[in-house]
Amino acid sequence: MRKSRVLVKTVVVWLLLWTLAFPAAAAEGLPAALSVEEAVRYALGNNQDLALARLALEKDRVALTEAEFAADDIEEDWVTSLDYALVKYVASRKAQADVKSAEQKVDFLERSLRLMVEQAYYETQKAAKARDLAKEALDRAVTQGEQAAAHVKAGTVAKNDLLAAEVDVVAKATELTSAENEYQQSKWAFLRVLGLPLDYQVELADQPVFSEFDGAGEQEAYLRALDSQPEVVAAREGLAVAEANFAQVKRFYTPNVFKYKQAQYDVQAAGILLDKLSDELELKVKTSYQNLALARANYQAYQKALDLARENLRLAGVRYQAGITTRLEVRDAALALTQIEVKATEALHLYRVTRAQLEAGVFFLQAGQTQ
């Protein structure tokens, strides 16, 4: 049984792999405003790793045909040694396992690529939202500064109130510059995931909105993942091949022979690996569903808090204009609103990324990567 290859350890590593996998050539036919589905279709059509995996699958299918021909050429009564038995009964089963594993790898690469594109798209949307929030915070600081100047002119507050307001404006302008930089970097990362030049001009057509997850339940998702996770499929096929090999070894050797013991140990090791991968996969699925529920609850809570924070800022502004409160109350209310807006944006982003992962059925396993 061919040993399963290491796919990735973390999403960060996957992003690097996708970056290296694409040719940095200009896209033809892409709209100026790109939806997430259009981005996914472009990526699926231009990824070199995916093309190589499909070629490897065809090669394994040819090897399977060859193994089946070799098995058919051996008559039953010719099987008088282990070598003949392995060609007749094991080689084709191993070739079938290789084809099955290659099929799952292609499928997993397609689903992983979709997830990578969606994550990069959502990350860029989050950065764009953070930039917009920084701009709104700067606008509020400017307004507070203008109000403070008016109060100083009217003699209702000391000049240091205006100086503090001007400091806030500078701080918010600096935060906006940082947010714009983060947005540009996120956009570059998105372009690299697609394999486009960093100076390629593209806008995101979709809006970052909340939509309920209507996919499979946790148990159903786990059962599906057992049949689609490449490491698990490879381990299951490896166990089947080890069992087929052991069945033939037992025909020609007794338990006190090294070859018998080695074949027996191979079956035991393959079974342990399959159990280990299945257990890890179950944990990954359960954790993802828990993260989804938590992000959903946080987003809904922050949406309610946003209304309260906006109203609090409005009332603080009214009181300050009337001269019955200080600018510090307005500043604190504005800061509280910005913090809740940022948390709401983060919660929405986490929810959408986790939902995309569950919809794609992509989980990254650690167990068995060195097998």
pLDDT digits (tens, 9 = 90+) for 169-184: 999 999 999 999 999 9
Higher pLDDT: 102 or 216? It is: 102
Q: Are 205 and 34 in contact (CB under 8 A)?
A: yes
Answer with the residue of higher pLDDT: 370 or 106. 106
- Going by pLDDT thresholds of 50, 70 and 90, the confidence category of residue 369 is low
Using CA atoms, how far apart are residues 179 and 338, in angstroms rounded to an integer? Answer: 13
- The model's pLDDT over 134-144, given as tens digits with 9 standing for 90+, comes to 999 999 999 99
Which pair of tokens denotes residue 55?
């070629």
Instruction: Report whether 76 contacts 111 (CB < 8 A).
Output: no
pLDDT band per the 50, 70, 90 thresholds, residue 4? very low
Percent of the chain whose pLDDT exceeds 90: 77
Q: What is the CATH number of domain 14-207+215-360?
A: 1.20.1600.10
Secondary structure (DSSP) of 198-242: TT---EE-S--------S--HHHHHHHHHHH-HHHHHHHHHHHHH
- 91-154 vs 218-228: helix crossing angle, rounded to 10: 130
| Nearest-angstrom CA–CA distance, 120 and 122 | 5
Mean pLDDT of 116-142: 95
> What is the distance between the alpha carbons of residues 300 and 348, in angstroms, rounded to a whole number?
9
Whole-prediction pTM:
0.82
- Would you state the pLDDT for residue 30? 82
> What's the pLDDT at 321?
85
Task: Give the C-alpha separation, 139 to 323, whole Å.
Answer: 21
Annotated domain spans of the chain: 14-207+215-360
For position 60, what pLDDT does the model report?
97
The average pLDDT across 290-309 equals 94
Biggest CA–CA distance in the chain, Å, is 111
Start-to-end C-alpha separation, the chain: 11
pLDDT average, residue stretch 308-314: 94
Give me the DSSP letters along 252-296.
H--TTSHHHHHHHHHHHHHHHHHHHHHHHHHHHHHHHHHHHHHHH
Residue-wise over 198-231: b if at least 16 C-beta within 10 A, else e? eeeebebeeebeeeebeebeeeebbeebbebbbb
Between strands 203-204 and 33-34, the pairing is: parallel
pLDDT reported for residue 151: 86
Residue 320 confidence (pLDDT): 86
| 22, pLDDT greater than 60 | no
